[in-house]
A = this chain, B = another copy of it.
């Protein structure tokens, strides 16, 4: 997922901000939200993509969470049987609306040059890829939370019974691992973001220094994205999951 997200960001960064893609009504699409406003082009493309993938059972996979779960179409393939790893009353945690907010409010402005190059379709297609990969990455927190619960059942049970969200967050946070993730993501952005179309290229050692040459995306921006948004949202999923971990249907 990490590589998919980084590849996606590099591809999206080729295009301008293209604000019209995100503004409901700016590009007139034939679908309205459940609360009655016209969808933005991005919402429309995301929903239509979910319609197509949903029919081939993408959202029967517990790794996947739809952005428009109430609109999912009937399956055309028989559902696959997945091993039931997650605790059913907690399996439905879905923070996609927050992922969308984070993407539109923080990530997109950070990685794209401003302006409008009229490549609305291409921009929106890459947005969909990134959003779906972010969603999968962040909701993977449910599996992480389940594993943590299994390994420290007593401690978590106590915190869950007290509804101590802050205590749960502290128990599940491993700052050393987080810092490693941030460093790895930065290195990946620097490596995969090299523009190898020009003659020269940069070695990983140069990449680790403060100057980046001919990069198509800022490794710091990607590291920031992880530090400030992806990891906190993942932990939010973990906490929400754990808070429901003792519920019964």
Contact = CB atoms under 8 A, between A and B. Distances in A.
Interface of A: 2-4, 7, 10-11, 27-30, 41, 44-45, 48-49, 51-53, 55-58, 61, 76-77, 80, 118, 120-121, 124-125, 129, 184, 187-188, 191-192, 194, 196-197, 201, 203-205
Nearest to A56: B121
B29 A77 contact: yes
B196 A118 contact: no
Contact of A196 (B10, B125, B191): B191
A177 to B, nearest CB: 13
B196 A187 contact: yes
A196 B58 CA distance: 28
A77 B27 contact: yes
A192 B191 CA distance: 7
A191 B44 CA distance: 35
Nearest to A124: B56
Contact of A52 (B27, B45, B197): B45
Contacts of A45: 52, 56
19 contacts: A2-B197, A3-B10, A3-B11, A7-B192, A28-B77, A29-B56, A29-B76, A44-B56, A45-B52, A48-B55, A49-B49, A80-B118, A187-B201, A191-B196, A191-B201, A201-B204, A203-B203, A203-B204, A204-B204
Sort A-B residue pairs by CB-CB distance and give the 3 closest, nearest first.
Answer: A48-B52, A7-B7, A56-B121
